[in-house]
Chains A and B, each alone.
Chain A
Amino acid sequence: MSLLSNTTVLLGKELRTEFRSRELLTTTVVFILMVIVLFSFTFDPTYTESRRFGPGLLWLAFLFAASLMLQPCFLREQNNDTLSALRLSVSDPFAIFLAKLIANTLFLLFTELLMLPVFAILYNVPVLHVAGQLVMVFFLGSLGVSIAGTALSAISAQARMRELLLPLLLLPILTPVLVSSTQVTVGLLDPAPFIEWKGIGFLVVFDVVFLTALWLFGEYLLEE
């Protein structure tokens, strides 16, 4: 019960501070928009190329944007040593991670859904008929990115060269999520859409494994 109530209170704090500062959302939206627009203007992909390479480009943009978004996740808790205050106040430190990863997933999902129509228009890829399935893939992929990213953000925040460290650690670990999410998205954007269940299954397993690891060992990542 404490975990649930602490997580709810902390999630409220995460959402409130973000919607007040709009630091993370603005950075992420602008970054993804720039990648999609620039790629479209530079390569001017054909209809077939868009369907083949578009999903990979989209997920790469999401991944790089996420590495930008996740950087300040724990870093801004260090400015006033607020992380220490949280550690002293919560009964289960996992609540700190849980609130942050839920918030990060929501921010990432929000950004992805905002960018989907832009992608569909610029790359001439119809998405409305598979919107529900795409939201499911976006959710599973974003959750995987957020779980691993939140954990690594806690590690990198305490290290030297922290700005460089997070992408260096995050991107290799998230390669399987990138590949699976892209495969499923390619299937959904096919003229005869289909769900790549193997990819979905992999994303679910990835999320469960990393969430369990975070639950078991997360407390040690917060220690000074």
Chain B
Amino acid sequence: MTSPGFSPTGIRFENIEKRFGRLSALRRIRFEVDPGECVALAGRNGSGKTTLLRIAAGLVRPSSGEITFPSSAPGGTGTRNGASSGVSKPAISQPAKVAAGFVAHATMVYGELTAEENLLLFARLQETPNAAARVQKLLQEVGLFERRASLVRTFSRGMRQRVAIARALLHESSILLLDEPSTGLDPQGVAWLAATLRQLRDAGCTVLMSLHGESEISALATRAVRLDAGLIVADTRAGAEMHSILTFADA
């Protein structure tokens, strides 16, 4: 994996709230991911990690609050607002929206397309320069080059996850949002992912990822944040405390 040069972009959550009917999934979330920082989100099932990541990706509109993407690039700061009125469009700055590479719980790839066709589809939609060459390179990096012409529905969960990760890396985004990215991966896959993320982090890519427990992936985190019932209950950069947050040792 060659390390692209990123224009450092951070993520600032300002009083983010998300309600699903009567349920408050996120409550007054206020924290900032610095450009180039690698933050691990921990928390029990239903604590709001996925919702926070989907809001950051621009897939879910917050009930209130604002997300900004401070960037050192000229005019690069983007803003995303919560819905305050009925049909007002969210102010989504296009650079900020497209900048985020997102790996979700679901693999977000088409079973009826081959691995290569899937990646080419998203590369072309994102207008990735030299799409075909970039796809070939990523297929080699994720170890699926030999199976590039196979339909994704014939793949195992781990192989689909590799395609999903390749899709998120396609446009060399300056922000990576990863929702339990090692799901389904074998030990070699986890090691590859850890090495890739390390390179990206060192190159200045901002990473916000949800994790369960400690692993090679969590070892990359420079900061750990724990959510509980939609609230941030712990936030640290100290090694020992990070261990506690990720393993729930203090819970």
A and B associate in one complex: yes
Q: How far is the CB of A76 from chain B (nearest CB, A)?
A: 9
Q: How far is the CB of A107 from chain B (nearest CB, A)?
A: 15
Q: Chain A residues near B87: list those with CB within 8 A.
A: 217, 220
Q: Are B112 and A21 touching (Cβ within 8 A)? A: yes
Q: Are B109 and A223 touching (Cβ within 8 A)? A: no
Q: How far is the CB of A5 from chain B (nearest CB, A)?
A: 7
Q: Chain B residues near A90: list those with CB within 8 A.
A: 125
Q: Chain A residues near B111: list those with CB within 8 A.
A: 79-80
Q: Are B125 and A17 touching (Cβ within 8 A)? A: no
Q: How far is the CB of A11 from chain B (nearest CB, A)?
A: 11
Q: Chain A residues near B105: list those with CB within 8 A.
A: 81
Q: Are A91 and B107 touching (Cβ within 8 A)? A: no
Given contacts A88-B58, A219-B89, A223-B61, contact A6 B125 (CB under 8 A): yes
Q: Chain B residues near A5: list those with CB within 8 A.
A: 124, 127
Q: Are A16 and B125 touching (Cβ within 8 A)? A: no
Q: Are A85 and B109 touching (Cβ within 8 A)? A: yes
Contact flags (1/0) for A69-87 with B, using CB distance below 8 Å? 0000000000111101111
Q: Which of B100, B106, B127 contacts A80 (CB 8 A)?
A: B106
Q: Chain B residues near A42: list those with CB within 8 A.
A: none
Q: Does A113 contact B (CB under 8 A)?
A: no
How far is B167's CA from A148's CA once the two chains are assembled, in angstroms?
A: 32
The size bracket of the interface on B is: 20 to 34
Q: With a 10 A CB-CB cut-off, give which of A10, A82, A86, A91 has the most chain B CB atoms.
A: A82
Q: Does B94 contact A (CB under 8 A)?
A: yes
Q: With a 10 A CB-CB cut-off, give which of B58, B100, B102, B127 has the most chain A CB atoms.
A: B127
Contact flags (1/0) for B99-125 with A, using CB distance below 8 Å? 010101111111111000100011011
How far is B126's CA from A5's CA once the two chains are assembled, in angstroms?
A: 10
Q: How far is the CB of A168 from chain B (nearest CB, A)?
A: 23
How far is B104's CA from A82's CA once the two chains are assembled, in angstroms?
A: 10
A 93-114 contacts with B by CB, 8 A: none
Q: Does B98 contact A (CB under 8 A)?
A: yes
Q: Are A80 and B107 touching (Cβ within 8 A)? A: yes
Q: Does B57 contact A (CB under 8 A)?
A: yes
Q: How far is the CB of A90 from chain B (nearest CB, A)?
A: 6
How far is B127's CA from A90's CA once the two chains are assembled, in angstroms?
A: 9
Chain A residue total in the interface (Cβ 8 A): 27
Q: Chain B residues near A219: list those with CB within 8 A.
A: 89
Q: Are B60 and A88 touching (Cβ within 8 A)? A: no
Contact flags (1/0) for B165-191 with A, using CB distance below 8 Å? 001000000000000000000000000
Q: Chain A residues near B127: list those with CB within 8 A.
A: 2, 5
Q: Chain A residues near B30: list those with CB within 8 A.
A: none
Among residues of A, the one whose C-beta sits closest to the C-beta of B123 is A89
Q: Are B108 and A16 touching (Cβ within 8 A)? A: no
How far is B100's CA from A18's CA once the two chains are assembled, in angstroms?
A: 30
Q: Are B94 and A91 touching (Cβ within 8 A)? A: yes
Q: Are B122 and A87 touching (Cβ within 8 A)? A: no
Q: Are A80 and B108 touching (Cβ within 8 A)? A: yes
Q: Are B112 and A17 touching (Cβ within 8 A)? A: yes
Q: Does B133 contact A (CB under 8 A)?
A: no
Q: Does B226 contact A (CB under 8 A)?
A: no
Q: With a 10 A CB-CB cut-off, give which of B87, B102, B106, B109 has the most chain A CB atoms.
A: B106
Q: Does B23 contact A (CB under 8 A)?
A: no
Q: Chain A residues near B147: list those with CB within 8 A.
A: none
Q: Does A198 contact B (CB under 8 A)?
A: no
Q: Are A224 and B60 touching (Cβ within 8 A)? A: yes
Please name 8 pairs of A and B residues whose Cβ atoms are closer than 8 Å in the assembled complex, sorted by A. A13-B110, A13-B113, A80-B108, A80-B109, A88-B97, A89-B125, A91-B94, A91-B98
User: What is B's interface to A at a CB cutoff of 8 Å?
Assistant: 54, 57-61, 87, 89, 94, 97-98, 100, 102, 104-113, 117, 121-122, 124-127, 167
Q: Which 4 A-B pairs have the closest CB atoms?
A: A81-B106, A85-B108, A89-B125, A17-B112
